[in-house]
Amino acid sequence: MGVKRVQSPLVCHGHSRPIVNLHYSPVTPDGYFLASASKDGQPMLRNGETGDWIGTFQGHKGAVWECVLNDTAMLVATASADFSARVWNALSGDEVQQFAHQHIVRTVEFAHNSARLVTGGYEQLLRVYDLEQLNSDPMQLEKADDKIRIATWHQQDNLLLSSYIDRKGFSVWDLRQKSMARHIDTPAVVTSIEVGANGQHITTAGGSEVQIWDGSNLTPSASFPMPHPVETASYCPAKKRFAAGGEDMGVYLYSVESGQELDSSRGHHGPVHCVRFAPGGESYASGSEDGTIRIWATEFAQQEASGPPSSAAIPDSRQPILAS
């Protein structure tokens, strides 16, 4: 009987406290990049393919809950427990702009043209800042019913989707009306929302379920009951797979067509707070309570099923690669 090999991911050290958010940039002329947010207050930027550390954005005085890149990977935005959201130059690491809030900021995201920035958090308010007119007051939407966990752009940046710390479901906000258009109920609190690159699909996770939604009308396309609580999920349409993780410290890969588990990966020593596919879907990253990022090969299980690799390939797959 053959011995099943276990995937050894790229392991990225550097954070000293839990990692709570990961974000990949699109592919740029210089490749693609991975931003990470951590409770250590030190958001970091890495090469998205190798996991190699590029830089740390220093200045926050509290936990950083989200760290995102704009579409050109020239700017980074962060949301922090120090009551601020900040914009940084991704090349120099310098702070470009700071937006003061009255309470913890949990979420931040650039619009696709990088001209606007949305923030949300414990004030229960969504604010949209015009980055081309920094002296102007932000657009402020009506107060939400609960503290905001996630806010993300949708439908040509005319809509925002938000989920909450305690309230189940997620809300759709119309920026043209400056108000909530509808609230969509789910069985549990939504702890992860991912809008696909083209807006055709939205992936949510919460409780023990992953759902994929039709981006055009926000109706569920598929629901996947999970055998364990999940905090995060990411969908790759090109591979027809989604990845998920949560309290049990595992990272799981599923077929969207059959719902079958294709791969399960161990290695984290704490709950998995975020998983995201890299552009193209050849790999996916996980961030954990243990303070590490792990980058996994999407095709590992399928390559194993097709037969053993050549001897020349064995050393790399046996040994973890540490990206410091």
Q: Give the domain CATH number at 193.
A: 2.130.10.10
pLDDT tens, 204-222?
999 999 999 999 999 999 9
Residue 140 domain boundaries: 10-323
Residue 232 is assigned to a structural domain of this protein? yes
Residue 79 is assigned to a structural domain of this protein? yes
Provide the token pair at 251: 């990272």
Beta-ladder partners of 19: 38
Q: For residues 70, 71, 75 and 77, what is the CA-based torsion angle, rounded to 10 degrees?
A: 10
Residue 1 is assigned to a structural domain of this protein? no
pLDDT value at residue 4:
59
Residue 56 is assigned to a structural domain of this protein? yes
- In percent, the amount of the chain with pLDDT more than 90 equals 88
Residue 2 is assigned to a structural domain of this protein? no
Q: Is the pLDDT of residue 318 over 50?
A: no
> What is the mean predicted confidence (pLDDT) over 70-83?
99
Q: 282: how many CB neighbours lie within 10 A of its CB?
A: 14
Beta-ladder partners of 141: none
Provide the token pair at 29: 């002329």
> What is the mean predicted confidence (pLDDT) over 140-151?
98
Rounded distance, CA 226 to CA 130, Å?
40
Give pTM, 2 decimals: 0.90
In the chain the first and final C-alpha atoms are separated, in Å, by 37
Residue 3 is assigned to a structural domain of this protein? no
Q: Is the pLDDT of residue 315 over 50?
A: no
What's at 256, amino acid-wise? Answer: V
Task: Tally the domains of the chain.
Answer: 1
Confidence of residue 303 (pLDDT cuts 50, 70, 90): low
Cβ density class 195-230: b for 16+ within 10 Å, e for less: bbeebebbbbbbbebbbbbebeebeeebebebeebb
Helices (H), the chain: 300-305, 314-318
Rounded distance, CA 316 to CA 300, Å?
13
Rounded distance, CA 34 to CA 21, Å?
10
Q: Among 88-92, 247-251, 272-276, 304-308, which is the least confidently predicted range?
A: 304-308
Rounded distance, CA 62 to CA 5, Å?
41
What's at 307, amino acid-wise? Answer: G
Residue 126 is assigned to a structural domain of this protein? yes
Residue 4 is assigned to a structural domain of this protein? no
Query: Degrees (nearest 5) of the Cα angle 21, 277, 323?
Result: 70
Query: Degrees (nearest 5) of the Cα angle 65, 86, 45?
Result: 65
